[in-house]
Amino acid sequence: MTIWDAIILGIVEGLTEFLPVSSTGHLTIASKALGLPIDDRAVTAFTAVIQFGAIAAVVLFMWKDIRTYAVAWFRGLRHPEHRGEFDHRMGWFVIVGSLPICIVGFLARDIISGPLRSMWWVAGSLIVWSFFMVAAERFGSKARPLTRITLIDAVVMGLMQCLALIPGVSRSGATITAGLFRGLDRVAATRMAFLLGIPALVGAAIFELPSALDGSIGVAPVVVGTLVSFVVGYASVAWLIRFVAKHTMGVFALYRILLGIVIIILLATSTITAT
């Protein structure tokens, strides 16, 4: 992997990690276009590790909220009278909602980095999940702000986040869609998706770090890709929050469907191979 490869993949990661278009799917497509073996352990590890940049971006963007929830959570542990406060409960919501993907991701790690790294999976998942996104916009009431989120909401969104282990589904797309189906408004669902993504992305990046730093890739591309994903990721997070306040996810669904169709055509005509 060259430095230019790392820069391109860092840009793709930063742009797509928090947009509901599937960062894994786009990284798989980009890796394929760069001539990298998309089912190679070191390559999949690299794409997981550069998520550190996107993680840092969303932590910086939401630092005030994260600090408030963390302080309230620890205060509630020490002082029972504070356990009914929303900020303390939000700490528990993020913790509990993050558990499913940590467990499933660890148990299914070999499948995720192997058989699922196929362009057929990417194309199919991009198209199929788009219809769930449209349905969530159509049938979700979008009536509740973040301050009215419940433990059940967090658990449902956490369970749906597991589907993002399939390339093409999108972690943010799955969690936002689940939040909309549960009646959260778009901004609330998006901010909760960001919070649930932090533990999941940190865990995946730490787990894959040794593989990404082995001799086939090296330290320099990992550092460059991570820095680029941080800069681009911050801009992407800030833009998405503003966008969902006034627009539906329909444009993302349409983009996903068109991209999926293009990939299928390329695969069917043998213009590209699946792995």
pLDDT band (50, 70, 90) for residue 273: confident
Report the 10 Å Cβ neighbour count for 181. Answer: 20
Which pLDDT score is estimated for 182? 97
pLDDT band (50, 70, 90) for residue 106: confident
* pLDDT above 80 for 246: yes
pLDDT digits (tens, 9 = 90+) for 4-37: 999 999 999 999 989 999 988 899 889 989 998 8
DSSP of 48-115, one letter per residue? HHTHHHHHHHHHHHTHHHHHHHHHHHHHHHH-GGGTTSHHHHHHHHHHHHHHHHHHHHHHTHHHHTTT
pLDDT digits (tens, 9 = 90+) for 156-204: 999 999 998 888 899 999 999 999 999 999 999 999 999 999 988 888 7
Report the 10 Å Cβ neighbour count for 39. Answer: 16
pLDDT digits (tens, 9 = 90+) for 47-101: 888 988 999 999 999 999 999 999 999 999 999 999 999 999 999 999 999 999 9
Which pLDDT score is estimated for 59? 94
Least confident stretch, 75-84, 101-110, 252-261: 101-110
Which pLDDT score is estimated for 228? 97
pLDDT band (50, 70, 90) for residue 41: confident
Which pLDDT score is estimated for 158? 96
C-alpha separations of 102 from 77, 164, 170, 182, 208 in Å = 23, 12, 16, 22, 13
Which pLDDT score is estimated for 111? 66
pLDDT band (50, 70, 90) for residue 112: low
